[in-house]
């Protein structure tokens, strides 16, 4: 069962990094297929805590081949800073390969991201400001810069000129900023070229050959289903395909080679940035969840918005991604509640919706219809089998499993690498 996709079910930060790391020992390859350094994955190994943004989390496991796929947008400054930080901590990063077709985030993308957000005012998306949207816009608009362009200075210069042509008008005339010089960008990009060269490869071919040999390839999604540009809460989304289909287009591996689709879902819900969020809490229960769950962004440090578990969202994500297994994370955070609210459907202006409404305005107005499940008080961080859990926690998991329509194969009971209960193996 070699091709395993990891996707976020909700609005990100479900614990995808930890899930990839969990598979680490049995993984030969790990591929990041979408997004860029807007992602933030925290992985705790022993006493060490690692925060990764651009590199796939699987890089933390010895002997794993890490790949940055063609669907990723790469900020080279961030790439080398992250690699250096890992070297300094003794992590072997020599197996990293970068797709020649991945697009590059430049200074003008970062600038445009920030000025556009400011321009939007109240309507802003709340992006991470890393240049993600503008870099993907250029890709789709066919004026993007690809990794392979760094190795032909003439082509690079022409492409940067082409890209800056309209943008400088926009920056100067609309946003009242200074124009960006072609040389400035070209020189900056070229300064990375020789360090990058040995990492650049036809990664789609490497992955195909690895799958032919029966090796285990994990496709690590950034962001999540509800942030996907097609299937999320548009326009309050990221600019890439964060769902399972993106694993194929973003890596160059055919969809028939994706054997297992693993959805990572938190035992409650969080969201960073703007947009609808039906189960959001604004009261002291929300404060309690945020501080107990350490819900502050890995990338921007922003407090995450928090709310209860939303079963229609998991059903939606299961359908859109073809999820075969769920990993339920952060169950330990709910310890101490007398009863745990769970959203089972929505009320939209008096009408009941059992599924996520297709109309964005309806979703904006959706009020959660809650059911209450019994809570538990015992510490569960030491549980390693399902039976170690208090019966109320077992029942909570079984209830979510029933509502979601997919089996919960792994349960997270703490941030540590080994703080998991495995009910069904994700690899075999
Ligand atoms: P990602 O973006 O999906 O990789 O998730 P983040 O790393 O942004 O956020 C998840 C956070 O939850 C990280 O700090 C993890 O260390 C932590 N975490 C993951 N699983 C568990 C769990 O089961 N229990 C607890 N308490 N923390 C967890
Ligand atoms: P991980 O991989 C949570 C959100 C931003 C914003 C929207 C668009 O850690 O789960 P962007 O900078 O991508 O154009 O911002 O998407 N966002 C995330 N929220 N986790 C993430 O990644 C996110 N990546 C982007 O907050 O609302
Ligand atoms: Mg994150």
Backbone angles phi, psi at 341, to 5 degrees: -75, 140
408 is written with which tokens? Answer: 């919960």
392-407 pLDDT, tens digit per residue, is 999 999 999 999 999 9
Chain-centre distance of CA 87, in angstroms? 24
422 is written with which tokens? Answer: 């495995």
The total number of residues written for the chain in this structure: 428
What per-residue confidence (pLDDT) applies to 265? 98
Judge if the beta carbon of residue 36 lies within 6 A of ligand 2: no
Confidence label for 298 from pLDDT (cuts 50, 70 and 90): confident
Ligand nearest to C-alpha 227: 2
- Average pLDDT of span 107-125: 94
Contact 251, 33 (CB under 8 A): yes
Chain-centre distance of CA 49, in angstroms? 18
User: Which ligand 2 atom lies nearest to the CA of residue 129?
Assistant: 12
Minimal CA–CA distance to 250: which of 12, 78, 36, 85? 36
From atom 2 of ligand 1, which residue's Cα is the shortest distance away? 13
Contact 98, 195 (CB under 8 A): no
| Residue matched to tokens 């124009």 | 179
Judge if the beta carbon of residue 131 lies within 6 A of ligand 2: no
Tell me the β-bridge partners of 340: 373
| Alpha carbons 55 and 43: distance in angstroms, whole number | 12
Binding site: residue ranges? 12-18, 38-42, 128, 142, 223, 238, 298-304, 330-332, 412-414
Judge if the beta carbon of residue 218 lies within 6 A of ligand 1: no
pLDDT at 414 over 90: yes
Listed in sequence order, the DSSP H helices in 121-223 are: 132-140, 153-169, 182-196, 203-212
From atom 10 of ligand 1, which residue's Cα is the shortest distance away? 15
Peptide bond preceding 358 in cis form (omega within 30 of 0)? no
From atom 13 of ligand 2, which residue's Cα is the shortest distance away? 238
Chain-centre distance of CA 10, in angstroms? 10
Minimal CA–CA distance to 67: which of 291, 267, 212, 252? 252
Minimal CA–CA distance to 39: which of 5, 65, 11, 70? 11
pLDDT at 25 over 90: no
Is 138 tagged catalytic?
A: no
- Average pLDDT of span 5-11: 98
232-280 pLDDT, tens digit per residue, is 999 999 999 999 999 999 999 999 999 999 999 999 999 999 999 999 9
Q: Ligand 2 center to residue 104 CA distance, Å?
A: 18
What per-residue confidence (pLDDT) applies to 302? 87
Return all residues near 236 (Cβ < 8 A) that are at least 6 apart. Answer: 125, 126, 273, 274, 275, 276
Ligand nearest to C-alpha 39: 2
Judge if the beta carbon of residue 13 lies within 6 A of ligand 1: yes
Judge if the beta carbon of residue 305 lies within 6 A of ligand 2: no
Q: What percent of the chain shows pLDDT beyond 70?
A: 100
**Residue 277: C-alpha distances to residues 300, 319, 349 (Å):** 20, 19, 16
Is 402 tagged catalytic?
A: no
Tell me the β-bridge partners of 309: 342
Contact 106, 185 (CB under 8 A): yes
* pTM greater than 0.95: yes
Ligand nearest to C-alpha 270: 2
What per-residue confidence (pLDDT) applies to 299? 77
| Alpha carbons 58 and 214: distance in angstroms, whole number | 18
From atom 23 of ligand 1, which residue's Cα is the shortest distance away? 412
pLDDT at 90 over 90: yes
| Alpha carbons 49 and 171: distance in angstroms, whole number | 39
User: Which ligand 2 atom lies nearest to the CA of residue 8?
Assistant: 10
Return all residues near 260 (Cβ < 8 A) that are at least 6 apart. Answer: 1, 3, 4, 5, 324, 325, 426
Confidence label for 297 from pLDDT (cuts 50, 70 and 90): confident
What per-residue confidence (pLDDT) applies to 329? 98
pLDDT at 303 over 70: yes
pLDDT at 428 over 90: no
CATH class label, 3-93+202-422: alpha beta
Judge if the beta carbon of residue 223 lies within 6 A of ligand 2: yes
From atom 15 of ligand 2, which residue's Cα is the shortest distance away? 127
What per-residue confidence (pLDDT) applies to 1? 59
278-287 pLDDT, tens digit per residue, is 999 999 999 9
What per-residue confidence (pLDDT) applies to 183? 97
Q: Is 101 helix (H, G, I), strand (E, B) or coil?
A: coil
Per domain, the residue ranges of the chain are 3-93+202-422, 103-197
141-159 pLDDT, tens digit per residue, is 999 999 999 999 999 999 9
- Which one is catalytic: 41, 53, 103, 231? 41
| Residue matched to tokens 């890209």 | 163
Q: What is the DSSP string of 362-388?
A: HHHH-EEEEEEEE---S--TT--SGGG
- Which one is catalytic: 53, 97, 103, 139? 139
Minimal CA–CA distance to 31: which of 61, 6, 52? 6
Is 13 tagged catalytic?
A: yes
- Average pLDDT of span 118-131: 93
Give 344's DSSP letter. Answer: E
Q: For residues 16-53, b (16+ Cβ closer than 10 Å) or e, as one string?
A: bbbbbbbbbeebbbbbbbbbbbbbbbbbbbeeeebebb
Minimal CA–CA distance to 167: which of 192, 123, 131, 128? 131
Peptide bond preceding 235 in cis form (omega within 30 of 0)? yes
Specify whether domain 103-197 bears CATH 1.10.300.10: yes
Average pLDDT over all residues of the chain? 96
Residue 133: count of CB within 10 angstroms of its CB: 25
């Amino acid at each position: 069962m070699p091709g395993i996709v990891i996707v976020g079910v909700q609005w990100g930060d479900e614990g995808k990094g930890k899930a990839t790391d969990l598979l680490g020992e049995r993984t030969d390859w790990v591929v990041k297929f979408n997004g860029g350094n807007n992602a933030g994955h925290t992985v705790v190994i022993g006493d060490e805590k690692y925060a990764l943004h651009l590199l796939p989390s699987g890089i933390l496991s010895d002997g794993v081949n890490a790949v940055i796929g063609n669907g990723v947008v790469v900020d080279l400054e961030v790439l080398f800073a992250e690699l250096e930080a890992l070297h300094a901590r003794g992590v072997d990063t020599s197996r990293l390969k970068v797709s020649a077709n991945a697009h590059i985030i430049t200074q003008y993308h970062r600038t445009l991201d920030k000025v556009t957000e400011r321009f939007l005012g109240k309507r802003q998306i709340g992006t991470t400001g890393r240049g993600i949207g503008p870099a993907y816009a250029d890709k789709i608009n066919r004026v993007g810069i690809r990794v392979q362009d760094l190795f032909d200075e003439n082509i690079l210069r022409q492409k940067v000129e082409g890209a800056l042509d309209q943008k400088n008008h926009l920056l100067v005339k609309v946003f009242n900023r200074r124009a960006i010089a072609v040389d400035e960008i070209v020189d900056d990009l070229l300064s990375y070229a020789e360090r990058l060269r040995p990492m650049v490869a036809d990664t789609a071919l490497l992955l195909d050959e690895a799958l032919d040999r029966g090796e285990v390839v994990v496709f690590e999604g950034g962001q999540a289903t509800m942030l996907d540009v097609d299937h999320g809460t548009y326009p309050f989304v990221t600019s890439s395909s964060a769902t399972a289909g993106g694993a194929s287009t973003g890596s160059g591996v055919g969809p028939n080679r994706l054997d297992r689709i693993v959805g990572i879902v938190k035992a409650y819900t969080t969201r960073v940035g703007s947009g609808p969020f039906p189960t959001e809490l604004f009261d002291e229960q929300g404060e309690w969840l945020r501080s107990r769950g350490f819900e502050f962004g890995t990338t921007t440090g922003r407090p995450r918005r928090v709310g209860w578990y939303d079963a229609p969202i998991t059903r939606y994500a299961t359908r859109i991604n073809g999820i075969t297994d769920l990993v339920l994370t952060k169950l330990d955070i709910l310890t101490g509640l007398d009863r745990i609210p769970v959203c089972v459907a929505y009320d939209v202006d008096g009408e009941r919706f059992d599924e996520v409404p297709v109309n964005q305005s309806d979703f904006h107005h959706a009020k959660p219809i809650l059911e209450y499940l019994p809570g538990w008080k015992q510490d569960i961080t030491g549980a390693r089998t399902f039976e170690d859990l208090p019966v109320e926690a077992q029942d909570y998991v079984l209830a979510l499993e029933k509502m979601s329509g997919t089996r919960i194969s792994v349960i997270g009971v703490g941030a540590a690498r080994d703080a998991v209960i495995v009910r069904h193996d994700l690899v075999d």
